[in-house]
Amino acid sequence: MNQRVCAIIFAHNEEKTITDVVNVVQSFDLVQEVMVISDGSTDETVVRARQTGVTLFERKRQLGKGQALLYALTKTDADVLLILDANLVGLTTEHLEQIVSPVLSGARVMNVGVRSCGPMQKNVRRYLPLVSGQRALQREVIEAIAPEYLQGRMVEVALNYCCRLNKLPYGSVVLTNLNSVSNVQKMGLFKGVIQYIRMATEILQSHFAIRIANLLGKF
């Protein structure tokens, strides 16, 4: 049975990269549907996304990736979801195929794309959760998780934990020559570092919250 694939591109103030990312995804023949969710963008992200002809949903306030994903689910009935960040640089259709193909073949219910890194970072990454914004997954994985665990940064932690808890096959693939615009580049050194600290804190809190919920039989 052919599975319908929907690419969901999340964007918050990504005017410099949104056009290139959308164009690559639109040219990828394994995707039948492409949508952009602008999460409270205040720059030219919406204007430039609209110029590509992509299906665009504009949220005036920034509510976070989890809320944006839940909103996107109401707008598509696709079997497989390809989730991407809009700040990518150097994205190719080969990268997209690396992410999607294991899910379409049935080898994995979720496949996470991680950027290549140096030997030291690679060793550290072995002990870190898969929190990359690039992933493909069967829709049923998301639908198995209560909405309260799909909020903000918790969404990626919840997806990983759901697969692990239910012994579902999932994994990652290294995407070579793929980069992204960093928070420091967008916001400056001070604000960018603060944003990274906030992100790391939210991810750590999410891990504790989901594990506690599991112990209490709520996850």
Supply the pLDDT for residue 210: 87
pLDDT tens readout for residues 174-213: 999 999 887 778 777 877 778 778 877 887 887 788 888 8
Supply the pLDDT for residue 51: 97
- Cα–Cα nearest to 76, from 46, 131, 28, 36: 36
> Which residues sit opposite 84 in a β-bridge?
9
Of 125-129, 142-146, 165-169, least confident by mean pLDDT is 125-129
Query: How far, in whole angstroms, is CA 74 from its chain's centroid?
Result: 17
Please tell me whether the overall predicted TM-score, pTM, comes out greater than 0.85 for this model: yes
CB atoms within 10 A of CB 79: 16
CB atoms within 10 A of CB 198: 12
Rg (CA), the chain: 17
User: Which amino acid makes up residue 184?
Assistant: V
Instruction: Name all domains of the chain by residue range, CATH numbers in brackets.
Output: 5-182 (3.90.550.10)
pLDDT tens readout for residues 128-142: 567 788 999 999 999
pLDDT band (50, 70, 90) for residue 22? very high
- Cα–Cα nearest to 144, from 128, 129, 162: 162
Supply the pLDDT for residue 1: 62
Supply the pLDDT for residue 145: 93
Q: What is the mean pLDDT of the chain?
A: 89
Can you read off the two tokens belonging to residue 69? Answer: 């994903």
Supply the pLDDT for residue 178: 95
pLDDT tens readout for residues 148-162: 999 877 899 999 999
Q: How far apart are CA 53 and CA 74, in angstroms?
A: 20
| Residue 92 Cα distances to 28, 57, 124, 177, angstroms | 9, 24, 26, 9
Q: What is the DSSP track for 121-163?
A: HHHHHTTS----SEEEEEHHHHHTS-GGGSSTTHHHHHHHHHH
Provide the CB-side half-sphere exposure for 57 (13 A, CA).
19
